Amino acid sequence: MSRKNTGGGARGGGTGKKSSPGRKMVKSRDLHTKVKTARGRKLSSTLWLQRQLNDPYVKAAKAEGYASRAAYKLKEIDERYGILKKGQRIIDLGAAPGGWTQVAVERTGSTPEEILVVGIDYLDMDPVPGATILKKDFLDDDAPEMLMNALGGHAPDLVISDMAAPTTGHRKTDHIRTMHLVEVALDFALQVLRPGGHFLSKTFQGGTEAELLNLLKNNFETVVHVKPPASRDGSVELYFLARNFKGRPQKESGSDGKDPQDR
């Protein structure tokens, strides 16, 4: 459910742990592509298009076959924290247009023969070889069960979410709406993650609800805010990275395996 800003780029399978384009030196500040004509466009649309044409991450995504520049955000977070590993099972919430799914497939080694990555979105997206994609709204009641079935009933090692509500231009409203998506994604993660697993989710600056932050800290060993270099200058987006899930509380039982009240 791509409630997110996706950036541009070609769709396909990027490969390898290549360095992020933001780390490369720009040879000249004068080498900017300008929009040939702004006729019929609003100023905001023209500025957005010009920014896209000159964005090194957009150019790199197109050259390397990623569905969007957002792929580099996940790559940069992984390069810093090492959360993606071979053989892991991953669920990608709000997967369209597919950049995060592509990176997850690359770094887990997921294949069509052994699917380790499952994505979900209500928007159309191109297939990602090595991943199962569900065209469905994650907020639907049956979505969690469908995701787990697609993963073969195995508990995921990582739940990732780049979901963000469509922006209204009113920062407080956008923050509240996106925080709701974070809460829903976290609730799902707490139900399905294996002990020791991780949760990564987009959020917006503007004040983190204390209850949500406490919930993260109570259920994970470490919780940090991350702003990868690929996040645009001036963007209010951040990411929650909660690592090492403590596990769900176990039902108290006696040595005979029964609850004390049942003995």
- The residues annotated as belonging to the active site are 202
List the Cα angle 67/72/78 in 5-degree steps. Answer: 125
Range 224-257 burial, b when 16+ CB lie within 10 A, else e: eeeebebbeeeebbbbbbbbebeeeeeeeeeeee
- Mind giving me the DSSP string for 59-105? HHHHHHT-SSTHHHHHHHHHHHH----TT--EEEES-TT-HHHHHHH
Helix/strand/coil for 174: helix
Distance separating alpha carbons of residues 231 and 228, to the nearest angstrom: 6
Please report which residue ranges of the chain form alpha helices under DSSP H: 43-54, 56-64, 70-81, 99-108, 143-150, 171-192, 210-219
- Give the span between the Cα atoms of 169 and 148, in whole angstroms: 35
